[in-house]
Structure 1
């Protein structure tokens, strides 16, 4: 399929689209969670998730980025859709490797991509059915055509999904029964993701409340997810049939549907939910946050934490390793951890191809320096102890290159980042609406702050929010 025909076909995401309104509804999260589990059971996708994804260590960040990307891909403006599709393709092109069983995986694999879209379609149909809004035959065909168009948008062709809805169901059943597997990613999502879920930003200052709530919600979320899965899949991966789970699942889906129908529309949208979970986002807490002190927030964002003799400002290399560097949560530092940082920055700042490539090259240069200094056995892994023992003596050329890229995408005129440009950078990254003035930040000062943070020597709220937020 040519790029021109893809753009023309993608115009189905107009006012009459069935899919586009759903991505703005909070209840669609139920469908996305179900789809994610079915995706993870695919050998290619499961391996890519376990080796490269930060979904376990930073689930809230992943949720926010997924929601943002879905909105861009279904935007009424074809230029926004094309830009996001190109960005996703560039990021996926960098994710490839070999799993623990020696099988190659590639995030650009077209069969795997088709399966991702297939799970989203089936899970959306399931959500509508369980919510009491079962689609009629015509609506289901339209929804399927929209998903095929969605695939064509990101892959250039929809040929890896069956052409008609009638052909889709045999294809779907075949993959469930003969391709999917009970792999590590499935177990992690079901039994570790919920139980180890870090607190959302709004509750990070109340760990006891979050721990109590999570202890109750975690088994419920697992039961609801399992009960919503196809029976053939549950049998294949030997999932337990939990007593009362189906009733709980149906009640949850119906409750979400009733809330969507009867509550004010603004209350049932993803943006509202994200605003509740993260007061730094535009949402119901925004006015209160502003009243709490705009000037103080600006000072905290633009400057590293003050030095009170080293007891608070200087974060230990060990803690920094855990909170910032180990993005994938496997206890060691590898290239996928640094690549995850680059992906996060490129995604949040919506970098173009040239700046994104510069950013990845800078991170690659830093990884080469880390390997040369710390990876003595050449296994591509750096342990926490190895990093902590040598953090202060590490070379900084790669970090300087990363800081230069960030400076260049922020400064628009005079080799000085003024307060407005700094606010623009972190508003784009963190959706904070900060006001106030401030002295200009030179390139050297910007680089010094960034290198100090990334080497684990000094704390910075801004960069912690970007790279260490859940």
Structure 2
């Protein structure tokens, strides 16, 4: 019988899971299929915090919620992974539905929870470990993995990890970037607005050194050996002090502070000061903060599909609704490619986007109706969960909220669109607000502040 004091699902919701989150991403990115998918389809470079939140949030939905939530999450992951396939630069095909890769990704989540407790000084004993693994396997049974993909018992895990590391793992470009430059380049989370750009650069540099040292020190020895990484004495000491300190602290906390509820709302705080935008600067900001999902300075089809993916992810749409959103965003990309990709390389730069959009809006009043507005119309329809023809604030927050959107700015954006002030947004108000954002020459129109007070 399972020890009532031990629960894998509950341990996954403990706040110190963030201490092994980077380790989790590195282990997953080291699988060549995951690494290839991240390189071409993921937005982790431009939105690392969203990537972490999606990974941990998906884990909580898989293991910490009811059977219906689990079913929806598995179906959503299946649809997302179906679109992640292609060929690596060296000619190897990859497909996110590969059974071995899927098993590895799931097992790394379990292994990181086990590592979190072991490093914190409160590791599972042999019986607890088997009970936690049985609980884990019960949840992931919904993925219907082929027989034999998951080790039968927890005591078989060390051999599985050693074999997989030696036979499958590679120090992929995605893993290298996660372990090296990503944190040195990461954008400032909005909740740290008070640091300012200069303060964030200092904090970011320090955090990059600490997280890199900690991650290398905490990786399984077989993985460090595979990648040629060295666990320094400084890293080992840092790992011991941070994990043991956190482990001692959480054991003193009441459950309401120790564990994070999946429904917990993000903390609030002050918004950044207002700064007026011209039309060109608004479009420039829209490119950087919205369109360039991969953070490489260009728009490609993958950026638009990443936006569609994020909408579908937030709304938990069914397959038919997802297909409509993706089709609308593919249509938007076709317009951008046709109008702006002069050399046919499949990329649109920021300068090309701003210049072509300004020229298009000046030249043709129906310019936005050829790509942007159909995509936004699909978003509105998908977000209107009850089919009322209006977006209530909760529906708006579901699709436009996120870890980098301050609640004050989210409320401000809603009010900008709700021009008659009745507490709900019509389809006409929704599309009109975005039209003003792109076309207004001054900042007096309400729609020009949809991205907040920059």
Q: TM-score by structure 2 length? A: 0.83
Match of 2:204 in 1: 214
How far apart, in 2, do the equivalents of 1:115 and 1:454 lie?
44
Is the 1:328–1:337 Cα contact (8 Å) retained in structure 2? yes
Q: In structure 2, the residue corresponding to 1:250 is in which secondary structure?
A: helix
Match of 1:424 among 394, 400, 412: 394
**Aligned pair 1:190/2:179, yes or no?**
yes
**Aligned pair 1:445/2:429, yes or no?**
yes
Is the 1:99–1:105 Cα contact (8 Å) retained in structure 2? yes
How far apart, in 2, do the equivalents of 1:409 and 1:13 lie?
42
Q: In structure 2, the residue corresponding to 1:97 is in which secondary structure?
A: strand
1:247 to 1:441, Cα distance in 2 relative to 1, 3 A:
closer
Is the 2:23–2:218 Cα contact (8 Å) retained in structure 1? yes
**Aligned pair 1:407/2:391, yes or no?**
no
Is the 1:348–1:428 Cα contact (8 Å) retained in structure 2? yes
Q: In structure 1, the residue corresponding to 2:121 is in which secondary structure?
A: coil
Aligned length: 427
How far apart, in 2, do the equivalents of 1:265 and 1:163 lie?
32
1:341 to 1:462, Cα distance in 2 relative to 1, 3 A:
farther
1:344 to 1:376, Cα distance in 2 relative to 1, 3 A:
same
How do 1:334-373 residues align onto structure 2 when only pairs under 5 Å count?
334-373=300-339
Match of 1:117 in 2: 106
Q: In structure 1, the residue corresponding to 2:122 is in which secondary structure?
A: coil
Q: In structure 2, the residue corresponding to 1:328 is in which secondary structure?
A: coil
Question: Comparing 82-91 with 369-378, which one deviates more in the overlay?
Answer: 369-378
Extract unaligned runs of 5+ from structure 2: 361-366
- Residue by residue over 1:409-433, the C-alpha shift from the partner in whole angstroms, topping out at 9 and shown as x without a partner, is 4454664x3xxx3312233242859
How far apart, in 2, do the equivalents of 1:461 and 1:350 lie?
29
How far apart, in 2, do the equivalents of 1:315 and 1:99 lie?
36
Match of 1:173 in 2: 162
Match of 1:95 among 79, 84, 108: 84
Match of 1:386 in 2: 352
Match of 2:241 among 251, 254, 267: 251
How do 1:268-279 residues align onto structure 2 when only pairs under 5 Å count?
268-270=258-260
1:202 to 1:444, Cα distance in 2 relative to 1, 3 A:
same
- Residue by residue over 1:333-383, the C-alpha shift from the partner in whole angstroms, topping out at 9 and shown as x without a partner, is 111111111111122223233322211111111112222222344332223
C-alpha deviation, 1:395, in angstroms: 5.1
RMSD of aligned residue pairs (Cα, Å): 3.5
How far apart, in 1, do the equivalents of 2:61 and 2:316 lie?
11
Q: In structure 2, the residue corresponding to 1:378 is in which secondary structure?
A: coil
C-alpha deviation, 1:158, in angstroms: 5.8
Is the 2:20–2:215 Cα contact (8 Å) retained in structure 1? no
1:460 to 1:379, Cα distance in 2 relative to 1, 3 A:
same
Match of 1:151 among 140, 153, 158: 140
**Aligned pair 1:237/2:227, yes or no?**
yes
- Residue by residue over 1:380-402, the C-alpha shift from the partner in whole angstroms, topping out at 9 and shown as x without a partner, is 22233332331232653332222
Question: Comparing 369-378 with 248-257, which one deviates more in the overlay?
Answer: 369-378
Extract unaligned runs of 5+ from structure 1: 1-11, 276-280
Is the 2:315–2:383 Cα contact (8 Å) retained in structure 1? no
C-alpha deviation, 1:330, in angstroms: 1.8
Question: Comparing 369-378 with 217-226, which one deviates more in the overlay?
Answer: 369-378
How far apart, in 1, do the equivalents of 2:374 and 2:137 lie?
41
